[in-house]
Amino acid sequence: MKTASRGTTATKKRSTTPTEYAVNESPRPNGKPSLSEDELRNHGALASELKGLNAAHASATALANASPNSQVGRIAAYRDTVLSAAEAEQNLTDAQDALAALESQDVRSVEDIQTAIDELNPDDPNYATQLAPLEEELAAATTYEADLAAAQQKVTDLETEIANSASNENDALLAASNGRELSPEALAYLHQLLDVPPPETATAEPPADGDVATGDGTTGDGTVEGDLAATGETTDPLVDPSTES
C-alpha cells in the first residue's frame, strides 16, 4: 500500500537560458575584446549604471578573500546567494525525483503486515514457516516508511529554502548596490560578470481567449460590453419584465 505524500507547492525554476539582456561577448575575454561600436556603447551604459558593482570584475581570488563589509565582499555575498538558490533548485528537482521513485513502489503498510502476523496461530505446525517471510516484509516496510518520511521532509525543507531565496537575493543585491534598484539589463550584465545563472525576468500573461475588454467599455470586436445586440438577448436581465408597460 502506498503512503500518501505531503502536498508540495509549485516552485519556480530558475532559467538557464540567457535573457534578452545578456551581452554576446564575455566582459572579461582573454585579450582585447572584439566588439562593435553598438556593443561597446551598450557595455559603457551598463557599466555606468552598475557604478560600484563594476567591482564584480574582480578575480575569483579577490572575491573569495574580500572583507565582508567591502564592496567586493558584498558583491561576493550576492554571488554566493544566487549560487545557493540555484543549487537548492537543483537539489529540489533531485529530491522530488527520489520521492516519486519511492511513492511508485507498492509496499504494504507496517500496520497491515503486523495484523497479518497477529492473525497467525502459534500452535500451527507451520507457524515458523509462515512467520519468517512476514517478519522480513515487516522490516523492509519499516525501512521504507522511514525513507519515505525523510524524502517528504527533504522536499518540504527545500521548498521553504527556495521560497526564501528571492528575498535573500534581493537583500544581498541591495546591500551590494548601496540600495539602488538595477534595470533588468544591468542585472543580467552583473550576473554575466559573476558567472552565475541569468536572473529571472517577469513575463506578461497572455490575454484570455475570446473577447477581451479594451478599457474603453467595448470588447475586442467593437461592441459595447453588456450590449444586448452583441449577446443575442432581447430582454435586459437587469429589468423586471413585470414592471415594463
* 7 within some domain: no
Q: Which has more pLDDT, 136 or 219?
A: 136
Residue 127's pLDDT is 95
Grid cell, residue 187, equals 542585472
Give the orientation angle of helix 110-118 with respect to helix 127-176, to 10 degrees.
160
Candidate from 26-30, 63-67, 79-83, 153-157 with smallest mean pLDDT: 26-30
* 160 within some domain: yes
Which structural domain range is residue 185 located in?
37-194
* 99 within some domain: yes
* 211 within some domain: no
| 170 alpha carbon, distance to own chain's centre | 15
Mean predicted confidence (pLDDT) in 193-221: 58
DSSP, collapsed to helix, strand or coil, labels residue 218 as strand
Confidence of residue 200 (pLDDT cuts 50, 70, 90): confident
Helix, strand, coil distribution of the chain in percent, nearest 5 = 55, 0, 45
Candidate from 59-68, 181-190, 214-223 with smallest mean pLDDT: 214-223
* 70 within some domain: yes
Residue 223's pLDDT is 47
* 22 within some domain: no
Number of domains in the chain: 1
* 73 within some domain: yes
Confidence of residue 217 (pLDDT cuts 50, 70, 90): very low
| 159 alpha carbon, distance to own chain's centre | 8
